[in-house]
């Protein structure tokens, strides 16, 4: 019961994801980024393990589409899942199971994917995609940096929220962003990893936290 964006800025070597939901601590369950591999999301009737499985598949050479296509082999109830994957070779893919709670759907563009379920309608995803494509950010934050990329992700998340977001309301949100690297680390080193786990305005709270991180750098 969530709306999510995973994205890449290939020109500046940036990678990230953002998500929001009327569920507690959505950032703990939905998104994952590996700076040397890509970004993934697993939501709806969330199987958290799918994030690890998709990232490991891509680390072993699978494309984003191939990782998403392997869902039925990893999960006994793929119709309940909604997933997305982005690899660093230019691949982006997403899938929405036929049993996910409506309105549910996804969209894929050249540098990002949007997906959501239990939304007020497709307009949520359309608003997110348009805002991200427009390169909206936060004044005073360099858009070429990980912090600036996080601001761009949050602008897209805010656009989805303003378009109606989760049909049940608001509770939590999260954003992660980092520079692409050549070698894997565990845990991955993320330059931005912010969560608002239980808040009346979780996206706005993330904007406040990001500004605070900028000020303290």
Q: What is the pLDDT of residues 75-93, one digit of tens each?
A: 999 999 999 999 999 999 9
Residue 33 CA, chain-centre distance (Å), reads 9
**In which domain, by residue range, is 57 found?**
2-215
Q: What is the pLDDT of residue 49?
A: 95
Cβ contact 37:55 at 8 Å: yes
CATH at residue 115: 3.60.20.10
Q: Looking at the chain, list the stretches that DSSP marks H as alpha helix, in order from N- to C-terminal side.
A: 49-59, 64-69, 71-74, 123-133, 146-162, 202-215
How open is the CA angle 84-90-94, to the nearest 5 degrees?
Answer: 15
What's the CA gap between 109 and 92, in Å, rounded? 8
pLDDT of residue 201: 92
Residue 71 has a pLDDT of 95
Task: Note the pLDDT of residue 27.
Answer: 87
pTM over 0.75: yes
Report which of 199, 192, 217, 216 is spatially closest to residue 20, judged by C-alpha positions: 199
For residue 137, the SS3 value is coil
Number of structural domains (the chain) is 1
Counting as low any pLDDT under 70, the low residues of the chain are none
């Amino acid at each position: 019961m969530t709306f999510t964006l995973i994205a890449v800025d290939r020109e500046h070597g940036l990678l990230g994801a953002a998500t929001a939901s009327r569920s507690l601590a959505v950032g703990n369950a939905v998104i994952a980024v590996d700076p040397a591999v890509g970004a993934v999301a697993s939501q709806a009737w969330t199987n958290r393990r799918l994030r690890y499985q998709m990232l490991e598949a891509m680390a072993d050479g699978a494309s984003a589409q191939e990782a998403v296509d392997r869902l039925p082999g990893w999960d006994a109830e793929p119709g309940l899942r909604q997933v997305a994957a982005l690899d660093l070779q230019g691949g982006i893919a997403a899938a929405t199971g036929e049993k996910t709670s409506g309105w549910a759907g996804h969209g894929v563009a050249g540098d990002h994917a949007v997906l959501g379920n239990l939304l007020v309608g497709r307009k949520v995803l359309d608003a997110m995609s348009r805002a991200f494509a427009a390169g909206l950010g936060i004044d005073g934050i360099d858009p070429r940096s990980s912090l600036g990329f996080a601001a761009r992700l949050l602008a897209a998340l805010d656009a989805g929220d303003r378009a109606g977001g989760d049909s049940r309301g608001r509770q939590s949100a999260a954003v992660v962003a980092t520079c692409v690297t050549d070698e894997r680390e565990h845990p991955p080193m993320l330059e931005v990893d912010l969560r608002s786990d239980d808040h009346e305005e979780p996206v706005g709270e993330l904007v406040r936290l990001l500004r605070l991180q900028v000020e303290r750098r």
